[in-house]
Amino acid sequence: MDPEELFDIEMRLLLNGVRQVYGHDFTDYSEASIRRRITHWLATSGYGTLSEAQASILRDREAFDSLLRSITVNVSEMFRDPAFFQTLREQVVPHLKTYPFVKIWHAGCASGEEAYSLAILLEEEGLKGRFRMYATDINNEVLQNAQEGIFPLKEMQKYTRNYQLAGGRGTFSDYYLARYEHAIMTKSLRDQIVFASHNLAVDSDFGEMHLILCRNVLIYFKPTLKERVLRLFDTCLIPGGFLCLGLKEALDGRRIAPRYAETVPKMRIYRKSYDREQSE
């Protein structure tokens, strides 16, 4: 048997074991990505094969945590896809402002770059103190980083450019303090975001939301898990609420699609219908 085939068998055995022992279900993740991440983890783990690693992973929580951290790290940047954030500012925020208080769920927030981007945008649009953002991720280590709001200073130049392209109304450097090689986001931004652990594959919803942002997370999921997560979002969103997906993530063909209209073409900002008749 060729080594790649053997690796795939070991990977399936391991993921099944992980699901049974720890309740984390990765069997509905796209295989190419998860294989790549597990291969990467294995190369740095000191184990020769996944079979060797399996005993430790299933019996030792710390070994599992190391694997979990490594295969669930998502990366983003501030104001990634500036045109999206500009559209959000111009076409969605005016609707949000009609509510006395706005609740937002940012699902799969990773280390928080987009959470802070959104908080900046909402502050600039006059919603300061009138919104609460729940930013969730499966990976507790990146959540910790997100909560601290500390980012490499060398990224700030790029983020500043993104911020300006996204229609930023102020000076980006007003939102962080530079310390040595790092930038720390201001406390007033951090105070409006609640970072919490949440696993989209198994956990339930968060209560009523006006806006859900989940960009470039569903691309890692197989169709069954995508459907599960979209249904979860649909349950949380109020009628007239907004769902924002990544630019390459279309709702077309998904079960909840009939209840949603794309607000601006290509930006993957969907608005939930007020019409109850369209419910399943």
Partner 1 sequence: MTGNSQSKFRAVVVGVSSGGVEALKQVIGSLPGDFPLPVMVVAHISPEADNGLALLLDDLCAIRVKEADELEKAAAGTVFLAPPNYHLQVEKDATLSLSVDPPVRFARPSVDVLFEAAADAFGPALIGVVMTGAGCDGSEGLRRIKEAGGIAVVQDPAGAVADAMPRSAIEAVVPDYIVPLERIAPLLVRLATEP
Tokens (6 digits) for 31: 């295989």
Site string for partner 1, 51-90 (x = CB under 8 A): -----------------------xxx--------------
Site for partner 1 in 4-33 (CB under 8 A): 4, 8, 30-33
Report H helices in the chain.
3-22, 31-45, 50-59, 61-71, 82-87, 93-96, 113-124, 140-148, 156-165, 187-190, 223-236
Nearer Cβ to partner 1 (31/205): 31
Indicate the residue among 11 and 102 with the shorter CB distance to partner 1: 11
Q: How far apart are CA 129 and CA 117, in angstroms?
A: 16
- For partner 1, give the closer residue by CB, 36 or 169: 36
Smaller CB distance to partner 1: residue 192 or 216? Answer: 216
Angle, helices 31-45 vs 50-59, to 10°: value is: 90
Candidate residues 203, 248, 275, 278; the one interacting with partner 1 per rule CB under 8 A: 248
Q: How far apart are CA 119 and CA 131, in angstroms?
A: 9
# binding residues, partner 1 (CB under 8 A)? 22
Number of H helices, E strands in the chain: 11, 10
* Structure-token pair, residue 252: 């077309």
- Kindly tell me which of 167 and 273 has the beta carbon lying closer to partner 1: 167
Distance CA 4, CA 7 (A): 5
User: Rounded to an integer, what distance in angstroms lies between the CA atom of residue 150 and that of residue 32?
Assistant: 31
- Residue 130 CB, nearest approach to partner 1 (Å): 31
Work out the number of other CB atoms within 10 angstroms of the CB of residue 223. 11
228 near partner 1 (CB under 8 A): no
Q: Which long-range contacts (CB under 8 A, 24 or more apart) does 153-156 make?
A: 153/178, 153/180, 153/181, 153/182, 153/183, 154/181, 155/77, 155/78, 155/183, 156/183
Q: Is residue 240 left, alpha or beta, with left meaning phi > 0 and alpha meaning psi from -120 to 50?
A: left
Is residue 112 near partner 1 by the rule CB under 8 A? no
Q: Which stretch binds partner 1 (CB under 8 A): 48-56, 146-154, 217-225, 271-279?
A: 217-225
Check residue 37 for interaction with partner 1 (CB under 8 A).
Answer: yes
Report in angstroms how near the CB of residue 144 gets to partner 1 at its nearest.
Answer: 19
- Residue from 250, 257, 262, 264 that binds partner 1 (CB under 8 A)? 250
Judged by the rule CB under 8 A, the positions of this chain that interact with partner 1 are 2, 4, 8, 30-33, 35-37, 74-76, 216, 219-220, 223, 246-250
